[in-house]
Amino acid sequence: MQATQIRTTGFHDGTTDDIFETTHTPLADLKEGEVKLRTDWISIDPAMRGWTTNKRSYMPPVQPGDVMRCFGVAEVLESRADKFTQGDWVTGFMGVQDFGVVGAKMLRKVDLNLAEAKDYLAGLGMTGFTGYFGMTDIGQPQAGETVVVSAASGAVGSIAAQIAKLAGARVIGIAGGPEKCGYLLETLKLDGVIDYKNEAIPAALKRECPKGIDVYFDNVGGDTLDAVMGRMNYQGRIVVCGSVSQYGDFANATGPANFMTVVTHSLKIQGFTMKDYMHRVPEAFSYLLKAKRTGDIIFREHVVTGLDNFQSALKMIFTGQNHGKLLLKVKK
């Protein structure tokens, strides 16, 4: 069987995202502990830039010439692993490819009676779990507190913001452009918004957070983190989920000038990855499934179709063209 794959041609070095090529190769024979997959959905993630950058991180970089790493949802066509049989649906790390042979250890089964396949990459997958654990475990918003979320209309940010609202906090979202800010106010019912592409963040934070900020859920880093740090309240919490504004050029990333507020205001800053929480996935899944069914949390997805659009889809993340969780449907 012939498979179509997206492979890297080199490392991301901050100058170009054009480091992918399409190849067609016969599938390898199945070994013990492996499954043959037909990929249905691929998650397009900001982390993909990190995975293709040759620097120390939470997992090794994808080597030039390898099939690009992704989270996906796929159907098992053939199995030589005890925990899966033909016809099962699975999610986990797999390659950007239509068919592939993958080690079963990287995968877990999904139930298509509970949710659609794509949901397991969006609100009911790593994206939702990240918003859930980051906000509930680290941010710990209390009723009446002021919570600020950056990239708030995006996949993780929108879930984190809605969880803070459900906790009774006053939630301010930062996003780029009127459409995204309108979505945050009108659909997600946040208490205030800052359109960072059209207004200065420090002045807007003063307007939207007159009593200061108790929790900041940081998805972007850079100048936004710096401005928020300048308005954090005593014993505030900063959840460092990501730093998407800094992923373009890791070599020239800069730190926040207001860092001393960590000392002067006794702040707590904590980063995390989903690796820290894998043992608690069932808890997050049942919370998010219930919230989806009751309508307490709204999930928004943005679908691009076809493996040949992988590279352009990835660029959308860094120009803010995605409106919600960005997903690639493999077959047109």
Site residues for ligand NAP per CB under 6 A: 45-47, 127, 130, 151, 153-157, 175-176, 180, 219-220, 241-245, 272-274, 317-318, 320, 322, 325
* Distance in Å, CB of 311 to ligand NAP, minimum: 16
**CB of 58 closer than 8 Å to CB of 33:** no
List, in order, residues 6 or more apart from 150 with CB less than 8 Å away.
Answer: 157, 174, 196, 216, 217, 218, 219, 220, 224, 225, 228
Decide whether 124 or 175 has the Cβ nearer to ligand NAP: 175
The token pair at 220 is: 């972007």
Q: What is the pairing mode between strands 192-195 and 170-175?
A: parallel
* Distance in Å, CB of 303 to ligand NAP, minimum: 13
Separation in Å, CA 140 to CA 63, 77, 170, 240:
38, 43, 13, 13
* Distance in Å, CB of 301 to ligand NAP, minimum: 10
* Distance in Å, CB of 159 to ligand NAP, minimum: 8
Alpha helices in 177-280 (DSSP H): 178-182, 201-208, 222-229, 261-264
Decide whether 220 or 232 has the Cβ nearer to ligand NAP: 220
Decide whether 5 or 245 has the Cβ nearer to ligand NAP: 245
* Distance in Å, CB of 149 to ligand NAP, minimum: 10
Decide whether 138 or 232 has the Cβ nearer to ligand NAP: 138
Half-sphere exposure of 294 (CA within 13 A, CB side): 9
Q: Which residue has the tokens 């069932």?
A: 282
Q: Which residue has the tokens 């959308």?
A: 316
**CB of 43 closer than 8 Å to CB of 72:** yes
Decide whether 35 or 220 has the Cβ nearer to ligand NAP: 220
Decide whether 154 or 236 has the Cβ nearer to ligand NAP: 154
C-alpha angle 255/139/270, rounded to 5°? 40
Decide whether 100 or 173 has the Cβ nearer to ligand NAP: 173
Decide whether 71 or 89 has the Cβ nearer to ligand NAP: 71
* Distance in Å, CB of 87 to ligand NAP, minimum: 30
* Distance in Å, CB of 156 to ligand NAP, minimum: 3
Separation in Å, CA 312 to CA 2, 18, 51, 177:
24, 9, 17, 21
Decide whether 101 or 256 has the Cβ nearer to ligand NAP: 256
* Distance in Å, CB of 281 to ligand NAP, minimum: 12
Q: How many contiguous H segments (helices) and E segments (strands) does the chain have?
A: 9, 15
* Distance in Å, CB of 228 to ligand NAP, minimum: 12
Burial class (CB in 10 A: 0-12, 13-18, 19+), 332: exposed
Alpha helices in the chain (DSSP H): 47-51, 126-133, 155-166, 178-182, 201-208, 222-229, 261-264, 281-294, 310-319
